[in-house]
Structure 1
Amino acid sequence: MIREILQRNFDFSVDSKEIAYYEIGILICTILGLLFIILMPLVGYFFCMCRCCNKCGGEMHQRQKQNESCRRKGFALSLLVICLLMRQVDLGIMYGFVANHQVRTLIKRTENLTESNYRDLQTFLNETPKQIDYILAQYTNTKNKAFSDLDDVDNLLGGRIKDQVKPKVIPVLDDMKAMVTAIRQSRDALESMNDSLKNISDGSTQLSTDLTDVKNSVENSLQNSNDCASEPTKDICDNIRSELSNLGSNLDANQLPSVDDQLNKVNDICKTDLESLVNKGYTSIDEIPGKVGNQTVDVITDVKKVLDSISSTIKNVSQSIPIEEVLSQVSRYINDSKDYFHRELPKLEEYDSYWWLGGLIVCFLLTLIVTFFFLGLLCGVCGYSKHATPTRRGCVSNTGGIFLMAGVGFSFLFCWILMILVVLTFVIGANVEKLVCEPYANKQLLQVLDTPHLLRKDWRFFLSGLMLNNPNINLTFEQVYSDCKKGRGVYATFQLEHVFNISENLNIEKNTGKIMKELENLNVNIDNIELFNQTGRENLENFVNSGIEGIDYPQYLKEAEKSPTKVDLLVFASSLEEKTDKLPDGNLKQDLKRDVQRIKTIHQQQVLPMQQSLNTLKQSVRILEHTSKKLSERVNKIIMSLDSAQNFLTSNVSSIVTEETKKFGKTIVGYFAHYLEWVLYAITEEMTSCKPVVTAMDSAVSGVLCGYAADPLNLFWFGIGQATALLLPAVIFAVKLAKYYRRMDSEDIYDE
């Protein structure tokens, strides 16, 4: 029906029945109110005229009846019920006062709420440029992150390539380094072994000669001495002579051949700096990040230029979005409404003062009537005496009856005026509630506004024609209200893609494609890595053929375990010295003493150094034995691993570089793809949320119109109407009851 009225298609003769059916409840109540308004003055007028003619209870004479006591008690009980109902009347009057006070405070609340909404809307308009600046600032952060990765390409890209190569190469280099160390240790051990053998050979010859000289000297001394002819000297001499056979060298120099040939071969190998060759392999791997950095300088510069150009593109896109144009229109409407509000607010305040005064008078009249009824009830009940005849009733009882009739008089005078106010406020308040507040709450009102060609005949959709200059776009009040309620951005809510398609202008694939195109120019060449040259390989093979595997290490260890002499010279010298001390003084004793001293000297000067040489020999032999153990197998394994690692570098390093370059490029592109997706979502969904607009609408309709205006209005007619309706039974019982409380002019003859 509203659509038809707005479109001027309403046929009163046909559609009035439908309106009447819809408004049937309001119409019935209004008709009852109008009957009340018409009949109450008429009834009051005729009632007054009738009582002036001593009719309708106007005659001041009360006849005695047999059921008088029951009637009086019945009326008293009814009056008691009325008194209880009067509490409802009091409640209705209180409702009227509350409603009147709400209307009184409406202006101040409306002013505060409106100013708050205007501030929110102004903040909403002012925040838009800040949000755009924030989005652009986030691009700076993304670009700085990408620039940081590009500047660190040697560690990020080169480091990843190096990490891919290291597991295949570093173990081989470690094995070669260990082998080079073993070659150097073998050379040192051979040199030490050769020196020890020479010292042992020379020492053994000299020791054998010196011990032979000592042995001959002792034998000569024993043979040339006359002291050995007699007892007991003879036994001592024989004993000494028998022990001389143990005095001699215990080593066989022929069992310890020289290792000069092996040493010469190893020395020839060590002339090549194998350690530097191994370190060169390590260095070639460690130099991969540096090579990547040096070879990508130009490409990185080009990529940075592309990133800077994307920054300009995003800035242009953000500034080209017509959000500010839409918001400027909204701002114009807001300013117009704000000016209208401030212009009309003084008038509203003036009208409110009239309403406040009228509501106060209405509540005062009702209070006055109810007060008369309460006073009449109180005085009548308290002053009534059953022993007093109607003409002799007391002053208090008579006053109660007068109060009741005064209340009845005021009821007839003013209740129809009160009903006029009730009917007017009821019709306005009920229709505002049913036609505006409830439809706005369930969005039926918005659906009505969304009717095509409703507000303008040449526009299919009014809102899209107003905001987008294209009335054919399906942009409805209901959809805008729902989206704004959810906090969506202006772009998505008002479908600004029909004016400026940000997805096309902010083409993610196009922008990231530029970056990928530049990153495809990354051409890193690290194919010329050589872990170990041919000379190094030959030296490893020569080390295997050096002969250290063929040395008879057990024989050397067996000889090295022997003592340099057959007997411990110190023990032998001590024994000889002990026996010599038993000989008589003479030449023999002195000669033997000299020989004991020579034996000790030989032990100190020859045996001990020879023992040290044997220990050194033993240590060198053990080192060589450990080094030469499965030497051929170990070297062959190292060479095979080296060939495998070199083949890996030759065959796979290019694919590794290509794969890691793509990963690096995807990482850089990923920053911007993620950022551009966020920009698209932020601009379309979150930027400049239009929720303050919905809040302002809800405040204007639900808050001001329904909450501050319609609700107090409905509360007013409900309270005043309830009180006015309850006056009807109060008037009837008050008239009946007054007859029993007022003092009569005449009476029947009353029996005891």
Structure 2
Amino acid sequence: WATYLIGFCVCAAIGILFFIVMPFVGLIFCCCRCAGKCGGRHKPHDPKRAGCKRKTYCTVLLVLNTVTLAGVVCAFLSNELVYQKLTNQDNIGPVGKLTSAIGHLEGYINDTVDEVQTTLLRQFDNSRASIEDDIRNTANNAVDEVLKTLNATALLDQTKKLSQDVNRTQDNLKNVAAQLSFLSSEGRALTDNLTEIADGAAAAIKQVTGNSTYGNFKRDQYVVTADFSGLDQLSTETEQIEQSLDMNKYIAENAVADTKNLTTSSVNTKIDEASSSIDSVRAEIDKGADSVRDSLKPVIDGMQSTSAKLEGAQPDISKYSKYGWYGGLAVSCLLLLVVVVYYLGVLFGLCGERPGLGAQCCNTGTGANFLMAGVGFTFIFAWLIMLVCVILFVVGGPAYTEVCRYFDDHSPQELKPFETALLKASDLTKDIYNGKDVDLSITGILDDCFHDKPIYGVMKLDNMVNLTAITDLEPLEVKLDELKNAGLNIPDIQIVSAQLNQTVENFANSGLVTLNFTPYYTEVNKKLTVGDLTQMSDNLKSIALHTSLNQSLTYLDGQRLGLKSKVNALLEGLQQSENNFNDQKNGLVTGQLETVVNRVIAQAQGIVNDILNTVRNDLGKCRPIYDGFYAATDAGCVVVLDPLNGFWFSVGWCLFFFIPSLIFAVKLAGLYRREHDEKDFDDPLAFIPLAMLSPPHRYMIHHKRAKIVLSLTFQIQRQNILCPHGDVPRKHYKRMHRRLYKIKGL
């Protein structure tokens, strides 16, 4: 800033010096002109190289005046821009920009609070049903966990599987019995038929040969070797198995369900209170969001008040800006006046005749008068215009270099000096965070908002808004702790009922264990006859081999292996689980209830943490803060200050080029006024009557008159030669003859 300050001081000193010196220079210049100096005296003849000088001075003056005209145009435009912005035309002035920026920031704050509140409640409501279900099922889950821990669940599952095996065994026994009955009847029929065939064959052979044997015929080959009638029909085993059917109805599922219901009913009040506490947690979240909105209400009210004040001040700004517009218009018109008279002077100097006898009024002398008028206007108004320029320069220049240049590029890093000064000048962070000393960086905030990061982390709102307190699960945890510590009095459970015990024992003692399946396999796999027989025997063999008899026998044989020991172990395990549960039921269920409750609390806390992460990392993208901040700074620095600086710069531009323009205008005016003066004609003695003078004087007067008469006569003759066709205006002849008439006394 020191470098800028030196520059401003030098420029302001030059302007003040110009303001002081210019009137004195103008006064001295006028005195010199009146004394015939500084081009004030007319010389009868042009100096050497006058034509070259005129062309050079005219060209330079035209260039300087054109450059000055550009500054005049910029002055008009800048003045008009300042007026349009201050009157807020089309709502693009500083007031419009500021109110728009404030409105966007206000909308951003409201939208962010609404978004946070909606997100908190929506996500909590989405997870609420799951939490409530877990709470209401805590007792059931605790009993299930206890049974699982005591292995009762697995044993009950095994009992169910045993029941299914009993039903399947009974089906296989029935299948074996049916197949054995079929094979026995068919075997007897086969034996009878073979005996009849063998007897017939033997009688026929004996009748023919006289002997009961012939060739390969052997009567003992027509004997059925497989005897199915001797096998046990398994009727006893089938009856005993039937007594073990429908074992499922004796399994203690109802007892377990009753225990769950009793456990749930014993803590039902606590469960209802815990479920109701979820409503209080939701109410706290809603209340916390409302408290955040209330804490931001002064900020929003301040924004609304500022917007209202700005809009209320707009009529006064528009009213008084009109006077400034008139002043700027007057200054611009004065500058334009000087430029116009210079242009007119050059125009008449280039296109007009030389001044003298017979020249029109629009001659080079008129151009010289316009040039000197421009010089006069410069001396009269330039110092006043410089005063206006210096005032605007002193206001607008430092405003840009010391303030607005930091905001010009919209780069947050440029605000370091501004940030340091602001933080040193006030306890800004303490004002924002209610007295807390927070390490806050304005440039960091704007840079993060430029990258559209969430507002919670950018503004370190954890120092202002305690989201953890808003989403505190303490009411729920208190009720769940009461649920954990609830005194339980769970009734005994009977897993192994008398009916189940009897049914399982009937199955174990059904005779499958002592049953020998070897004869069955032997008879089934025997050849039906000793030799090859007819198709009937083949069909019988096919029936014996390809029915499901073998499969049923295999299944029954497998079931009997270790059947009794397995069943006994199952009963012992069920009884042990029942005893363990009944001995430790209250402690076990309470312990498991605590585990389930802790799991519910952890699940609820995980849901809340997810909600908080969403708020901290996904909501309230703060790019609108960056845009609103620079929109507010642009309202002053770009909308108003830029055209204001453009105006004083344009005025200073014009004043700077007025100095060389003034010099060349004076030089050029002296060249445009050159003429041959008729001093003898202007002599007062030429109009004195001759009778009043003495003879010597008469002679002198006659001599002078003769010279003038000869001169005028020569001019008339010259015009006749140059214009032989009478193109010379008649008024020229009248003027010349009138002068001759006066001289001759005719």
TM-score w.r.t. length of structure 1? 0.68
Match of 1:41 among 23, 43, 61: 23
Q: 1:258/1:188 Cα in 2 relative to 1: closer, same or farther (>3 Å)? A: same
> Residue 515 in 1 paired to residue 480 in 2?
yes
Q: 1:375/1:519 Cα in 2 relative to 1: closer, same or farther (>3 Å)? A: farther
TM-score w.r.t. length of structure 2? 0.69
Aligned ranges 1:102-117 → 2 under 5 Å: 102-106=81-85, 107-108=87-88, 109-117=93-101
Counterpart amino acid of 2:318? Answer: E
> Residue 266 in 1 paired to residue 266 in 2?
no
What's 2:526 paired with? 558
Contact 1:372 1:404 in 2 (8 A): yes
Contact 1:189 1:624 in 2 (8 A): yes
What's 1:591 paired with? none
What's 2:180 paired with? 193
Counterpart amino acid of 2:480? Answer: I
Secondary structure of the corresponding residue to residue 422 of structure 1? helix
Contact 1:100 1:359 in 2 (8 A): yes
Q: 1:419/1:624 Cα in 2 relative to 1: closer, same or farther (>3 Å)? A: closer
Contact 1:522 1:661 in 2 (8 A): no
Match of 1:734 among 644, 661, 665: 665
Give, in whole Å, the separation in 2 of the partners of 1:526 and 1:130. 55
> Residue 474 in 1 paired to residue 444 in 2?
no
Give, in whole Å, the separation in 1 of the partners of 2:662 and 2:276. 90
**Any idea what the Cα deviations from partners look like across 1:117-152, whole Å, max 9, x if unmatched?**
454466467668856863445544432342355567
Counterpart amino acid of 2:395? Answer: I
What's 1:372 paired with? 341
Counterpart amino acid of 1:369? Answer: V
User: Displacement, 1:38?
Assistant: 1.6
User: Displacement, 1:337?
Assistant: 3.4
Contact 2:4 2:401 in 1 (8 A): no
What's 2:415 paired with? 442
Counterpart amino acid of 2:601? Answer: V
User: Displacement, 1:358?
Assistant: 1.4
What's 2:74 paired with? 95
Counterpart amino acid of 1:143? Answer: R
> Residue 25 in 1 paired to residue 43 in 2?
no
Give, in whole Å, the separation in 2 of the partners of 1:542 and 1:186. 11
Counterpart amino acid of 1:48? Answer: C
Give, in whole Å, the separation in 2 of the partners of 1:353 and 1:196. 127
Query: Could you tell which deviates more after superposition, 84-93 or 39-48?
Result: 84-93
Contact 1:162 1:286 in 2 (8 A): no
**Any idea what the Cα deviations from partners look like across 1:426-467, whole Å, max 9, x if unmatched?**
011123224443567726455445447x7xxxxxx47746x7
**Any idea what the Cα deviations from partners look like across 1:190-217, whole Å, max 9, x if unmatched?**
442244224423x255435644675587
| Structural RMSD (CA) | 5.4
Secondary structure of the corresponding residue to residue 243 of structure 2? coil
Give, in whole Å, the separation in 2 of the partners of 1:128 and 1:410. 62
Aligned ranges 1:411-450 → 2 under 5 Å: 411-438=378-405, 442=415, 444-445=417-418, 447-450=420-423
User: Displacement, 1:333?
Assistant: 3.6
Q: 1:95/1:650 Cα in 2 relative to 1: closer, same or farther (>3 Å)? A: farther
Match of 1:348 among 312, 317, 323: 317
Give, in whole Å, the separation in 2 of the partners of 1:205 and 1:743. 170
Counterpart amino acid of 1:373? Answer: Y
Contact 2:270 2:483 in 1 (8 A): yes
User: Displacement, 1:716?
Assistant: 1.0
Secondary structure of the corresponding residue to residue 474 of structure 1? coil
Contact 1:161 1:657 in 2 (8 A): yes
User: Displacement, 1:297?
Assistant: 5.5
Q: 1:643/1:366 Cα in 2 relative to 1: closer, same or farther (>3 Å)? A: farther
User: Displacement, 1:327?
Assistant: 3.6
What's 2:411 paired with? none
Contact 1:404 1:734 in 2 (8 A): yes
Secondary structure of the corresponding residue to residue 60 of structure 1? coil
Counterpart amino acid of 1:116? Answer: S
User: Displacement, 1:73?
Assistant: 3.3
User: Displacement, 1:668?
Assistant: 3.6
User: Displacement, 1:347?
Assistant: 2.0
What's 2:634 paired with? 703
Aligned ranges 1:306-705 → 2 under 5 Å: 306-312=274-280, 315-316=283-284, 319=287, 323-324=292-293, 326-334=295-303, 336-381=305-350, 396-438=363-405, 442=415, 444-445=417-418, 447-451=420-424, 461=427, 464=430, 473-474=436-437, 482=445, 486=449, 503=468, 507-508=472-473, 511-512=476-477, 514-515=479-480, 518=483, 533=501, 536=504, 539-540=507-508, 544-551=512-519, 553-560=521-528, 568=534, 615-618=542-545, 619=547, 622-623=550-551, 626-627=554-555, 665=597, 668-670=600-602, 672-677=604-609, 699-700=631-632, 702-705=633-636
Contact 1:187 1:267 in 2 (8 A): yes
Give, in whole Å, the separation in 2 of the partners of 1:644 and 1:58. 142
**Any idea what the Cα deviations from partners look like across 1:515-566, whole Å, max 9, x if unmatched?**
3653676989998656985753674575553434321634543333668xx7
Counterpart amino acid of 2:437? Answer: N
Counterpart amino acid of 2:317? Answer: L
Give, in whole Å, the separation in 2 of the partners of 1:21 and 1:496. 43
Contact 1:207 1:249 in 2 (8 A): no
Contact 1:323 1:491 in 2 (8 A): no
Give, in whole Å, the separation in 1 of the partners of 2:527 and 2:17. 146
Counterpart amino acid of 1:51? Answer: R
**Any idea what the Cα deviations from partners look like across 1:153-188, whole Å, max 9, x if unmatched?**
799889999999899986896588457525532442
**Any idea what the Cα deviations from partners look like across 1:664-716, whole Å, max 9, x if unmatched?**
6456434532454467678899999999888766555x133323332222111
Counterpart amino acid of 2:264? Answer: T
Q: 1:366/1:163 Cα in 2 relative to 1: closer, same or farther (>3 Å)? A: farther
Give, in whole Å, the separation in 1 of the partners of 2:237 and 2:470. 75
Q: 1:624/1:417 Cα in 2 relative to 1: closer, same or farther (>3 Å)? A: closer
User: Displacement, 1:60?
Assistant: 1.8
Contact 1:38 1:416 in 2 (8 A): yes
**Any idea what the Cα deviations from partners look like across 1:7-49, whole Å, max 9, x if unmatched?**
xxxxxxxxxxxx9987322221111001111222221222122
Contact 2:454 2:621 in 1 (8 A): yes
**Any idea what the Cα deviations from partners look like across 1:209-252, whole Å, max 9, x if unmatched?**
644675587689x6xxxxxxxxxxxxxx6699987995968554
User: Displacement, 1:401?
Assistant: 3.3
> Residue 714 in 1 paired to residue 645 in 2?
yes
Secondary structure of the corresponding residue to residue 296 of structure 1? helix
Contact 1:100 1:712 in 2 (8 A): yes
What's 1:181 paired with? 168
User: Displacement, 1:256?
Assistant: 1.7
Aligned ranges 1:100-139 → 2 under 5 Å: 100-106=79-85, 107-108=87-88, 109-117=93-101, 119-120=103-104, 123=107, 130=114, 134=118, 135-136=120-121, 138-139=123-124
Contact 2:108 2:624 in 1 (8 A): yes
What stretches of structure 2 of length at least 5 have no aligned partner? 408-413, 680-746
Q: 1:205/1:341 Cα in 2 relative to 1: closer, same or farther (>3 Å)? A: closer
